[in-house]
Amino acid sequence: MVRFKYMRYTFFMVVLGLLFIPRVVHASQFSFSQSPQSHEVMAQPGKTVILPYTLTNVGDPSVMELQIYALSVKDSQGSYEIIPHYSDNLEKIQFYLSNSQHTLQEPFFMNTSEAITYEIAIHIPENVREGDYYFAVVGQTEQNEGFVDTSTVFLQGGVGSIIYLSVSSDGSLNQAGNITQFGVQSNHSIIWKNTEYRVFDSFADIPIVLSVVNSGMNYFQAIGTISVRPTLFESGSLVIDLVPTHLLSDSSKIILSTKSLNKSNTATIRAPLIGVFTAQAVVAMGTSANTQISNVSYVVFPFTYILYVVGTVLFTATGMVFVKRMRSG
C-alpha cells in the first residue's frame, strides 16, 4: 500500500514538472535578396517600360507582397526619404505587374530557398513632367510594420531595388556636377610658395575626404580614382578606386572607395616615415564628358621619433653629468 502511494506521488510530480517546463519558441527568420539592385531607365512620355526582377527567400517560409515606394532627396548628403507610391492617379506614373494575373500589394507565399521572377511595367503618362523620378520596388513580408528612411533602400522585413527613371521627350540628359571638397584631414598645416601642405606624423592614419555635388537636372553616376604620388624622399605611387556612386539631382555625397573605413571618409591610408606627397582625385560624372580633377598636398615628418631621440639624448647627457659630479664630489 505504501509502495502504491509512493508511485502515485512520483507520477503526480512528473506530470506537474512536464506542465511547467518552458516551451522553446523559435522566432521566424526573414531574409531575402532581390536582383538587380538597380535599373537605370530613359523613357519618353506616353511609353511603357518593362523591368525584370528576381526575388529569393533565403529565410523561413513567408507571406510576401510587392510594394512600390517613391524616393526623394531627404537632405544635401544624398539620403532618401521613401513613401508608398500608389498607381491610383492616371496623371501620375503607373506601376503594375506585367504578364501576371496578380497585382501589386497582393499577398503570396514563398517557401525557403524559393526564387520567383517577375516583371514590373512602368507607364509614363503623356503629360507627365520631364525630369528625374526615383522609385524602389520592394519585396516585403506581410507582417512588415513600416519602413526606415535611409541612404540605401532597407526596410524592416523587406528588400528593395532602386529605379532611376529619367523622362525626356528627346532622350537628352542634363548632367552636371562638381567636386565640392577634396582634402586630407589634419589639424596642422604649413604654407610654402603659396601652396598649403597638411602635416602628418610618421605612420599616422591619413583620412581623405572627397565630396561631389550634382548641380544638374538629372542623376548621374560618379566614378574615378584617387592617386597618391611622392614628390620628395619616397618612391612609387598608390591608386585608390572609387566606388561607383549614384547622385540624385540637387544632392551631394561623400564618395566612398576601396579603402574607406566609414562613411565619413573616402579613404584612410597609412603615412610612411617621411616625405612630401600630392593626392589627385579624378572623377567622371555621368555620360557626358564631364571630368573633374582636384589636387591636395601634404607632408609627413617623424616628429614623435625626433622628440623621442632628443629626449633620450638629453636624459642620457643629464645622467652622465650627474654621475660625473657625484664621482668628483
Query: What is the domain-level CATH number for residue 254?
Result: 2.60.40.10
- Among 11-15, 78-82, 94-98, 258-262, which is the least confidently predicted range? 11-15
What is residue 264's predicted lDDT score, i.e. its pLDDT? 87
pLDDT one-digit tens code per residue, 60-73? 898 889 999 998 77
**161-189 average pLDDT score:** 91
Domain that holds residue 271: 177-306
Residues 153 and 189 both lie in one domain: no
Residues 255 and 185 both lie in one domain: yes
**10-36 average pLDDT score:** 54
* 7 in any annotated domain: no
* 160 in any annotated domain: yes
Q: How far is CA 291 from CA 146, 179, 221, in A?
A: 40, 10, 12
Residues 108 and 53 both lie in one domain: yes
- pLDDT averaged over every residue in the chain: 83
For residue 276, give the nearest of 217, 203, 206, 197 by alpha carbon. 197
Domains: count for the chain = 2
* 50 in any annotated domain: yes
Residues 265 and 153 both lie in one domain: no
**75-86 average pLDDT score:** 75
**172-187 average pLDDT score:** 92
Residues 196 and 264 both lie in one domain: yes
* 86 in any annotated domain: yes
Residues 138 and 259 both lie in one domain: no
What is residue 99's predicted lDDT score, i.e. its pLDDT? 87
In this structure, the strands spanning 195-201 and 291-301 are parallel
The proportion of the chain whose per-residue pLDDT surpasses 70, expressed as a percent, equals 84
Q: Which amino acid is located at 162 in the chain?
A: I
Q: How far is CA 261 from CA 109, 150, 264, in A?
A: 39, 19, 8
* 163 in any annotated domain: yes
CA–CA dist 90, 87 (Å, integer): 7
* 25 in any annotated domain: no
Residues 162 and 206 both lie in one domain: no
| Cβ neighbours for 246, distance < 8 A, ≥ 6 positions apart | 38, 162, 164, 219, 220, 221, 222
* 111 in any annotated domain: yes
Name which residue leads in pLDDT, 33 or 26.
33
Residues 45 and 113 both lie in one domain: yes
* 326 in any annotated domain: no
pLDDT one-digit tens code per residue, 218-276? 999 999 999 999 988 877 889 999 999 999 888 889 999 999 988 889 999 999 999 99
What is residue 70's predicted lDDT score, i.e. its pLDDT? 92
What is residue 28's predicted lDDT score, i.e. its pLDDT? 53
